Structure formats: structure tokens, C-alpha cells
A and B are shown apart, each in its own frame.
Chain A
């Protein structure tokens, strides 16, 4: 029978190969799903793996989606490495958008261009404050950060909903739950004429470089590593896991807030009740599939963006529900976790031994 045998050391090969195995498994299940639904699987695969990358316009759209995913996943990678289970990035993202929107909605066409910087900083502050609640309750009262950060997502949705249905509603907006359209100086500058992708992508890639240095070169990154992976050893070495907790949550909150600010003043241009689209949750998958590694996160964010765009195309061209994106994203993480077993174990065929020795 098939048995798992502990490897003497984790396999470097499978650390890198496991996301590819997971992708292959997801594609295989996807093909099966298309066949079961009576759709052409070749056309289905094209929607997800060719159409989203076939030209510059398509790549620009990938960039738009990958920007928030990269930013949020970078913060989550730090959290998960520090063993801080922040799963409420969606809430921190919403608060970032709210803080940014709060300033952007007061801008006029004559506002200085530098207001963009103020707006983005406001977004970072909003996300940090929201994450700080989780950090404080964890630090002071030992409250489980998984549940607190998640509950705060629902609360954040209500904060946004209150504002856009109430005090921030555009008086000339035919009663739609939305703010005024932000004035032009607030817009995050675009990178190329005619393409929507904006400078947020450059910021995200700079954050990738920053996080790489932070995680692997600077003392603090090391501290976050030991604080999470071996708390006793960390304490012995004199590092406090409290510092790791606060650093991880404030950093990831700030990055998620920045993502929200870029989204609000970039592609959206106003706040609506539909700001939250699940990037905060999808980024959890991005972080894991990217091996909690900043460079890996770039690749997995591109893949996840292809899933988003593929889902939209499958809806308009193949009459499939858009939620097929969520199915594939969930399957990818599931397959990844299963494939990760091969990092620590190897599969061995073994003849069933005598009953007594089998255990």
C-alpha cells in the first residue's frame, strides 16, 4: 500500500514544484468541470490561460488586478511567517479605501497633484489602524486574531456601507450608494497612454523588493521568522513575539490599506458599496501559492489575476457563472496544501507487512 515516509530534510525540489503540481491538478479538475457542464474545455482553458495575456491591453488588466493582490499578499506573507493569522486583510483594504476616499472626495480640479501622495498615505494609515485593533486585542487580551480580524471584515463593510448610503452619498447621484466621482488631481497616474494600468503596479513591485530585503536581509525580518516559527527559541534569543505580532499586523494592514487606496483612486475613481470584491481573501491564496516569498507572490498574483479575468470572460462568452473564479482559486489552494505534503514526506509503495508491524 501507499505510505508516507518522512524525508530526512525538506525537499527543495518540491518547495518549488508543488505550486506547479497544484496548478496542474486545478487545470485537470477545471477541464473535467467544463466537460461535465457540457462546455468546450479547450475554449474554457483559452479563457483562463490565453485571453488574459494575449496583448498589451490584456496585460494591463492583469496589472490592475495583480497590484492589490501583490500588496496584500506581501503583508500576509510576513504575518503567516510570524505565525500571525491575519485573515481580515479584506477589512483593512476597505478601511484603506475609506480613508483615501475621505480625502479624495474633497479634492477639486484645482487641487495640487501632490494630493495623490496624501491620499495614499491616508490609505496606509486607515489599514494600519484597522489592523491595530486586532493586534491590540491579541496583545492585551489574548483574543484569537483569526476570529477578530475576520469579524472586523464584516464591521468594515458596514462602515463603508454607512458612509456611502449616508453622509458621503453623492447628492447628485440619483440616490445610488456612491460618493462623488473624485476630481482629476486625485487619480493615481497611469503608466501608459490608453492602458488602465497605473503607477500602483510600480509601487507594488517596489514593495516586493522592500519586503525581500526586510524578510531576508534585515534583522527584523529574521526576528519575525523566529518569532513565528519557534517562539521558545525566539524568546531565548531575546526577541519578543509581541514585536513580531505588531510588526506583522501593522505592515500587512498598511499594505492592504495602500491597496485599497490605489483601487479607490485608480480604477474605481469613487467609493461605492461594491469596493470590497474579495482581494483580501484571494491574497491569502496568493501568499500561500507564492510560498510566502515576495518573488513567488508576483507570479501567483499574476496567475490569480488570470483566474479573475478568465472568470469574467467565461461569464460573458460561455454563459458560466463568474463565481467559477472562486472555485478555481479554492481548488488551487487545496491542491497546493495536498502537494506540499511531498516537501516533508515521500511516497513509497510498500507491501503490507505483518499486521503487528503495520502501525
Chain B
């Protein structure tokens, strides 16, 4: 019973990393830009966030530093794909490859650093409730931030004027341009926002979730986050639920290892990746459905007057 509560708590925690990154990617994909550099962004932000936490001792500073690193790299990516019309896939890949090397390079001194005692965030009263307390109310505030962000994005994309403009640009940049919206600048803002959120996810991973800096520690989470936006057909609430599902798969792995089930550990480690492929296959079978939900200009460059 108690173990189940801990499993739920761990699932929410693991899902939060994926959710924040995937919600960020959802923003730029809704504007028509796909950023395959997510993995690299998260890695660089993870090490920058970790370094900030080591030097400042504050998680908030770490998240800010991670967001800044993610936003800066995303801005470089954005400038290339939006103004120079470079291929979005190739440029994103370049960012991912660069991020792997760069994070390992600047992170080397921090592989030996350890963070101090991690803060507890028990909600008074609620966390005392048997089962529900340890399962839900002893979480890091970031778990709640992810939920709040989901609700905000649901409202923003569907009800707010600026959210509708963002979606219009993703569907038809030509029409949005004809209506006088600065398509490129809005796309850049979306890419930067997406990068900042990937950055926060990376910093959360290294300073709270693990908390350690290890080379390549994102272990494909950036890619899984990219897959999540497709699984969720670009809907925030489905992104959140999908992220928890994958968080659950990750946690099941540790849980099974703990209970001594006779499965090679490699099978368990491979589980989230296999699950990603399986879900991708199940969702993609219906090509028409994906197409109907996908932002129509996704991945395509836009050159006003060109």
C-alpha cells in the first residue's frame, strides 16, 4: 500500500520532467516549428542548472539558469530556421549533437560536485492523510507547476487572442502574414518559449529529480518529449497524461528491479524506448487522424513575399 503511494509519487515526478519539456515543444510546434534539438537543449540546461545550483545553493536560480540556457540555444536554432530558412530537421539535429558534446565539455568539473540536502515540500495537513498524502502531497512544487502550465495552455491556445494567433501561424503562415502579423517574430518567440521550458525540464532533472550531473543524463527524454507531442495530437491535456504514462513506465522499471522480478535489467531499461515505438505505431496507423490534428505548416519554412 505504502509502496504504491511512493510509486504514484515517483510517477508524477518522472512525468513532470517529460511534461514540461513536451509542453514547451507543443508551443513551438503549434506555431509550425519542430525542434529536434530538444535533447541537446535539455542536456545543456541540465548542466547549466546544476552548476547554478552548486554555486548558488538555490533551486530557483538553477531553474532560471536552465531556462536561460534553453532559451538562448533555441534562439540560435530559431534564427537559423526562421530567417535563414535552414532545414528544421537538420538544424535541430545539429543542436542535439552540439548539445551532447557541449554539455559534456562544460560539465566535466561538475561530475564530482554534489548538491546539499534537498528541500522537502510537504503540504501541511494534506500530506498527513494516509496513502493520498505520500502519493500526492509531498511533491516538489514543479509537479504543480506542470499541471498549472497545462491548464494555462489549454485556456491560452483555445480562448485567448494571442493563442489563436499562434495557432493561425502554425496552420497558415501565409494568411497570418497577409493579416499583418509578424509571423517570423512570433515563431521566434514560440521557439524561445519552447526552449526555455525544455531548459527548465533539464534543470529540474539534474537538480531535483536525479539530483546529479552525469554526461548524457537525459537519456533520450528530449526525444520522448518530441514523440509525446505527436501522441497527444498537440493537445496540452493529452501531453500531461501521456507524460505521466511514460513516467509510470520509467518508474515501473525501478520498481520491478526492486522487487527482484527475474527480468534482465536491460529489458527494463529498454522499456520506455520500446513503449515509445509501440505507442508511436498505434497512434500513427491512422494517418488521416494525425494529419487532421497536426499544425498544417509544421516543419515547413516560411518566407514572406518569397
Contact = CB atoms under 8 A, between A and B. Distances in A.
A312 interface: no
B161 to A, nearest CB: 22
A159 B90 CA distance: 28
B105 A6 contact: no
A281 interface: yes
B104 A326 contact: yes
Given A142-B287, A330-B102, A341-B84, A281 B267 contact: no
Given A144-B284, A326-B102, A337-B80, A151 B94 contact: no
A326 B80 contact: no
What are the 3 tightest A-B residue pairs by CB atom distance, in nearest-first order? A326-B101, A330-B98, A323-B104
B91, B274, B280: most-surrounded residue (chain A CB, <10 A): B280
B257 interface: no
Nearest to B34: A146
Given A151-B273, A337-B84, 10 more contacts: A137-B277, A137-B280, A137-B281, A142-B284, A143-B280, A144-B280, A147-B280, A151-B223, A161-B266, A323-B102
Contacts of A152: 273, 277
Contacts of A191: none
Interface in A51-100: 85, 87
Contacts of A328: 101
Contacts of B86: 337-338, 340-341
A330 B101 contact: yes
Interface of A: 4, 6, 85, 87, 137, 141-144, 146-148, 150-152, 154-155, 158-159, 161-162, 165-166, 281-282, 284-285, 288, 321, 323-331, 333-334, 337-338, 340-341, 344-345, 359
B230 A144 contact: yes
A137 to B, nearest CB: 6
Nearest to A156: B270
A328 B102 CA distance: 9
Contact of B264 (A143, A166, A326): A166
Interface in B110-159: none
B266 A158 contact: yes
B93 interface: yes
Nearest to B288: A142
What is the interface of chain B mostly: helix, strand, loop, or mixed? helix
Nearest to A136: B281
A330 B99 CA distance: 8
Contacts of B281: 137, 141, 143
B84 A331 contact: no
Contact of B98 (A155, A331, A340): A331
A148 B277 contact: yes
B97 A333 contact: yes
B84 A4 contact: yes
Nearest to A138: B284
A87 B274 CA distance: 17
Given A137-B277, A161-B266, A326-B100, A146 B94 contact: no
Contacts of A327: 98, 101-102, 105
B219 interface: yes
B100 A162 contact: no
B36 interface: yes
Nearest to B220: A154
Contacts of A333: 90, 93-94, 97-98
B227 interface: yes
Contacts of A282: 97
A325 B101 contact: yes
B85 interface: yes
Given A284-B97, A288-B90, A323 B84 contact: no
